[in-house]
Structure 1
Amino acid sequence: MCATKPHKGTTLKQVATPDALVHHYPHQCTRCSATLSPEAATGFAVRQVFGLAPPPPLFITEHRAHTCLCRACGTLVRADFPETVKAPAQYSDEIAALAAYLQTQHCIPEDRLARIFSDLYKIRIAPATLASLIAKKADSLRIFADRVRELLSGVAVKHLDETGFRIAGKTRWLHMLCSTSLSHLRLGTGRGDIPSGLAGTIIHDCWPPYLALEAVEHGLCNAHLLRELQAIIDHDKEPWAADMKDLLSDALTLTQIAHDQGKPAVSPEQAHQIHQRFDACCDQAIKFHEGLPPLARPTKTGKRGRPKRRTGHNLARRMQTHKAAILLFFDDLNVPFTNNEAERDLRMTKVRQKVSGSFRTETGAENYCILRTVVETARKQSWDVLRALSTSPVQLVHELNTLHQIQLDSVAG
């Protein structure tokens, strides 16, 4: 059973005011072959073709700081240039935003970016210049990324995940902290460098350092568990795994029905039944494995400790231990069934690794994290991504604070 509802598709629809009109008239009558003129038209049918306008030419704005003579004292006073206009000739913030978007979202390296600007816009920009523009753009947006991180700390339900990445020849870890409206990507000092100071509910994949976080309620990703259960079904043929998989699917269905009917929770009878079935599946699995002969200990390993358990045995014991976190989605309808939110937000990072390889410097990786934070958050806020990348960071933070407060008020209401 799918953990999420399918997305609705979109259909191309005609517009009321097209940009151009092309008229087609018949030349002769199909019955008597008489010549027809446009003046004989009595009506028309409409079909519209959606295309792209040619890329605009380079738009150059000249700033003139005038000098004025004070008639009172004779002092010459020159106007100041805008803070963003710092050189006799420079590229606009829109070009920096487009370069940052293409590299961050579409994994295009600087040399290919230079070719794109040359082919489409007839702008000859050196790859090193593009890299500098992107770095400056990321640095200016750092305050926005920091604000996203602050807001996420107080969000009721948030998701965590991490992924390894080669940076400066070493394996480093990128950490994702996100919600349905915010995303924050961060370069950690190690895999265990997970966020601290969190409150509310966190959804994750049962990695022990996440479980060690205190003052939070834990919810586990059931998509991971379903894959593990399916592996037990396929390879080990253990009957309890099929029962547990059916139980999780049934519990998800009950929560979806409750959501659709506008109910705050499933009925007490349904909740009691699901919890009983869960306990029975775990007990069945553990008794099954305890009745099997122990696995043979490898000889001459020099290792001490408890005998190794089978995969299904470990999974059953883990599910029994973390029952509350596994069924949190069922007991609290505000909690999602999976950790797909964080996994989706990390997906482009893995694509970036496959397409462009590793980062040469830690600074480059940090810049990437900032820009990914802006892009993903802009998408979740339904902002125009290019506008977000080219807007003043202070203005962008103000818009984020305003929308976040509106969302909080909506939830409270």
Structure 2
Amino acid sequence: MLSDVVVKFSEQEAYELLPTYRQVFDIPEPRLEVIAHRISCRLCCGQVHCGRFPEEVSAPVQYGLRAKTFMSLLNVDYRLPYQKISQCFYDMYGYALNEGTIVNANEGLYERSAEIEVQIKTGLQSSAVVHADETGGGVAGELHWFHTVCNELGCYLFVHSKRGKEALESAASLLPFMRGYVVHDCWSSYFSFDTCKHALCHAHLLQELKALSEQGSQWAAKMSACFLALYQASQQGKAVVENFEAWKAHYEAICQQADREEPPPEKTARGRPKNSKGRNLLNRLTTYQTELLAFACVKEVPFTNNMAEQAIRGIKIKQKAAMCFRTLRGAEIFVRLQGVMTTLRKQGLNLFQTLLNINAKINVQLETT
């Protein structure tokens, strides 16, 4: 829309100058659009023949797909509770939603997202490197675990009553199908899979080394410096380091120094001897040397597991806002939709429009490799 501002000058001053333009970007006035559907019936040959309403028009009065998609987007990706979404609709459109409307919107998008989730899982299973992590949360008054497997193109989440091997080997898990590298923390259950290769996250490890070095541990300070130097030499975990064998020998020399510095296990009357924190960390460094140095000799393996931690951050935020999921079904709906929305963002797709296409059963093809 152009708006001309007319300024009057005297005849002697009236020189034609180039116009100056200014633009104002604004949003349209919010309003609900009502579409009326009507079918006709005819009596022919002793029978009544009627037209059919569109598939998505299943009730005398209902919200459309755009409104339902917006509800799901606010609830899942923006983590707004039902009450806030209802208030938002009332403030904008003058209509307050009830909780059941939002629940049904999520339920419908969940069912229609099943094929998208299959595409995500297929892409992750063929990936050279994936990230895995888990976090606990309340579901129906009990502790459950939210597990993720993700890469730069996709994110898959599932909820299970267990954290360890039972969950990771369940039908919902992808780890039994992985053949490339899986980046994770040192949780022992991950190492039960021998069909994939393992790489470990260094973020928490560096924190442990820092704590030991602040207590006067010389070997911990050297190991921390070794990892950080390797990180720089590998171009922040994006390239293979030169002279890897020399770096490996340096790593092993620090472990030998740690073995001399750390006190031997304390013998107890019963059970296994008690190790110091430094000795426990050293045991991990020697046991998982290959997994800890993978980032320096395999180009695709990163230095940290931040990608998986970011994938489950939405679950933690949701838990802080809503405290818990009331039902297991509600948790399952949320994690599928969260995984789908995270994937769409990773692939640079317009989130609202793509979710609307999914709701409208329009084919959506994701990038998997």
User: TM-score if structure 2 supplies the norm length?
Assistant: 0.88
Given the alignment, which residue of 43, 47, 51 partners 1:79? 51
Residue 108 of structure 1 contacts residue 356 of structure 1 at CA under 8 Å; is this kept in 2? no
2 CA distance for matches of 1:322 and 1:293?
20
Aligned: 1:139 with 2:111? yes
1:43 to 1:113, Cα distance in 2 relative to 1, 3 A: same
The aligned counterpart of 2:250 is 277
Instruction: Report 1:112-261 matches (<5 A).
Output: 112-192=84-164, 193-194=167-168, 195=173, 196-234=176-214, 236-256=215-235
List gaps (5 residues or longer) in structure 2: none
The aligned counterpart of 1:318 is 284
List gaps (5 residues or longer) in structure 1: 1-19, 29-33, 409-413
Q: Secondary structure at the match of 1:312?
A: helix
Residue 145 of structure 1 contacts residue 184 of structure 1 at CA under 8 Å; is this kept in 2? yes
The aligned counterpart of 1:266 is 241
TM-aligned CA deviation for residue 51 of structure 1: 3.8
Aligned: 1:327 with 2:301? no
2 CA distance for matches of 1:36 and 1:23?
22
For 2:277, the aligned partner's letter is: T
Count of residues paired in the alignment: 361
Q: Secondary structure at the match of 1:85?
A: coil
For 2:250, the aligned partner's letter is: R
| TM-superposition CA deviations, 1:286-329 (whole Å, max 9, x none) | 1111xx365585xxxx74222x1111111112011111111111
Residue 187 of structure 1 contacts residue 365 of structure 1 at CA under 8 Å; is this kept in 2? yes
Instruction: Report 1:344-355 matches (<5 A).
Output: 344-355=310-321
Given the alignment, which residue of 66, 72, 75 partners 1:103? 75
Given the alignment, which residue of 35, 39, 43 partners 1:61? 35
1 CA distance for matches of 2:37 and 2:78?
33
TM-aligned CA deviation for residue 68 of structure 1: 6.0
Greater shift in the superposed pair: 139-148 or 80-89: 139-148
Q: Secondary structure at the match of 2:355?
A: helix
TM-aligned CA deviation for residue 105 of structure 1: 1.6
1:154 to 1:395, Cα distance in 2 relative to 1, 3 A: farther
Residue 232 of structure 1 contacts residue 312 of structure 1 at CA under 8 Å; is this kept in 2? yes
TM-aligned CA deviation for residue 163 of structure 1: 0.4
2 CA distance for matches of 1:167 and 1:313?
37
Aligned: 1:93 with 2:73? no
TM-aligned CA deviation for residue 123 of structure 1: 2.4
The aligned counterpart of 1:383 is 349
TM-aligned CA deviation for residue 22 of structure 1: 5.3
Q: Secondary structure at the match of 1:159?
A: strand
TM-aligned CA deviation for residue 100 of structure 1: 0.9
For 1:241, the aligned partner's letter is: A
Residue 27 of structure 1 contacts residue 36 of structure 1 at CA under 8 Å; is this kept in 2? no
For 1:179, the aligned partner's letter is: N
1:135 to 1:87, Cα distance in 2 relative to 1, 3 A: same
Residue 236 of structure 2 contacts residue 303 of structure 2 at CA under 8 Å; is this kept in 1? no
Residue 265 of structure 1 contacts residue 332 of structure 1 at CA under 8 Å; is this kept in 2? yes
The aligned counterpart of 2:18 is 43
TM-aligned CA deviation for residue 54 of structure 1: 2.9
1:257 to 1:166, Cα distance in 2 relative to 1, 3 A: closer
1:93 to 1:395, Cα distance in 2 relative to 1, 3 A: closer
Aligned: 1:287 with 2:260? yes
RMSD: 2.7
The aligned counterpart of 2:271 is 304
2 CA distance for matches of 1:350 and 1:258?
27
Residue 144 of structure 1 contacts residue 397 of structure 1 at CA under 8 Å; is this kept in 2? no
Q: What percent identity do the matched residue pairs reach? A: 29
TM-aligned CA deviation for residue 258 of structure 1: 9.2
For 2:309, the aligned partner's letter is: E
TM-aligned CA deviation for residue 49 of structure 1: 4.6
Residue 168 of structure 1 contacts residue 361 of structure 1 at CA under 8 Å; is this kept in 2? yes
TM-aligned CA deviation for residue 131 of structure 1: 2.0
2 CA distance for matches of 1:49 and 1:312?
62
TM-aligned CA deviation for residue 43 of structure 1: 2.9
Residue 374 of structure 1 contacts residue 389 of structure 1 at CA under 8 Å; is this kept in 2? no
The aligned counterpart of 1:15 is none
Q: Secondary structure at the match of 1:184?
A: strand
1 CA distance for matches of 2:216 and 2:8?
74
1:303 to 1:296, Cα distance in 2 relative to 1, 3 A: closer
Residue 240 of structure 2 contacts residue 298 of structure 2 at CA under 8 Å; is this kept in 1? yes
TM-aligned CA deviation for residue 265 of structure 1: 3.4
TM-aligned CA deviation for residue 279 of structure 1: 0.7
The aligned counterpart of 1:411 is none
2 CA distance for matches of 1:36 and 1:183?
70
Greater shift in the superposed pair: 386-395 or 357-366: 386-395
User: TM-score if structure 1 supplies the norm length?
Assistant: 0.80
